Amino acid sequence: MPRFAEFCAGIGGFRIGLERIDGWECVYTNEIDERCQITYRDNFNEDFSSTDIFEIDVSQLPDFDVLCAGFPCQSFSIAGKREGFEDPRGQVFFKLEEIIENKNPSVIFLENVANLVRHNRGETFGYIKKSLKRLGYKVSHNILDSSYFGVPQKRPRVYIVAFRYDINSNEFEITERVTNRTTFREFINHGDNSIPISDKWQTYIDLYTGNIDIEDVDFEVPKTRKKLERIGSNVDLNDCIFQIRSSGIRAVSIDEPLPTFAVSNSGGGAMIPVYSRERRHLNLTEMKRIMGFPDEFIFTVARTHAIKQLANAVCPPVITSIGRDIDIILNNQE
């Protein structure tokens, strides 16, 4: 019956995923974001056990079998400055090293952006693997796409699982898919117009669907908005998702997984994808579904913060799958 600790917990994506497995129990949570704590409390009836990870007194931590962490990805992401361990957020891994060395859990379970593997010509990831081996762990990793786990979003992430050397993990494999590629169509929450589009966006939809010409637009259209930057295969422009990017607008089929849900999505509506058929932005229920969170997950924080929290989260269905892979190994120990 594994006891796990969740560091850099966000809004509890690891916890949701792992507590779906019989017997798994969360005994410690850490996260610095105060607004995330509000959401966490609303859903788990608990506050975080600690906030600033760098201030944790490791000797005061409870014992746990599995250390989980979706440690900050911004310093390794293609979308960021890629400063890696030079960025204070990237240095969270050094504190995780201290916790691992002192608590010696049976399993380490980490998640980050796929670019972590390639960051700094592979040197950053190489350091992480060597560090875990030095601390006494056998390391496995894989880049998984959440759309193969019942989540309607292409979200490649690297997952690292390391077993302590005394654990017989020779048969361990990270399951690469549990479903066919998941499309967005069946996850649409029809009729929820809680994030309406602006009058300008009404005009843009008319322009992109061919109802009007550029000469009919009564305002100055930016160069990046005059036509669609990219149209996916088999897209019905009257029933699709318009993905809003700084470089332009892309049309995405609802019969495909959506692109990676990113932090740049604005709670005010500016960067939230648009559903052309109902002429509205995606609503919060759809955003929860895109991330694999249950519909009943509660947000009492402002929409801007809720969207950011979701975009920074791990996808619970992927965590559940890997957790079950880990569970098999732990249950087979003699």
73 in active site: yes
The alpha-helical segments, DSSP class H, found in 45-198 are: 92-103, 123-134
The SS3 of residue 5 is strand
Report which of 178, 77, 157 is spatially closest to residue 109, judged by C-alpha positions. Answer: 157
Could you list the beta-strand ranges (E) of 82-193.
107-113, 137-145, 156-164
Look-up: residue for tokens 């890997």?
A: 322
Other Cβ atoms closer than 10 A to 150: 18
Active-site hit among 8, 36, 73, 240: 73
Report which of 107, 119, 132 is spatially closest to residue 82, judged by C-alpha positions. Answer: 119
**What contacts 23, CB < 8 A, 6 or more positions away?**
1, 2
End-to-end CA distance of the chain: 15
Angle (CA) 51 54 58, round 5°: 90
Q: Which residues are catalytic?
A: 73
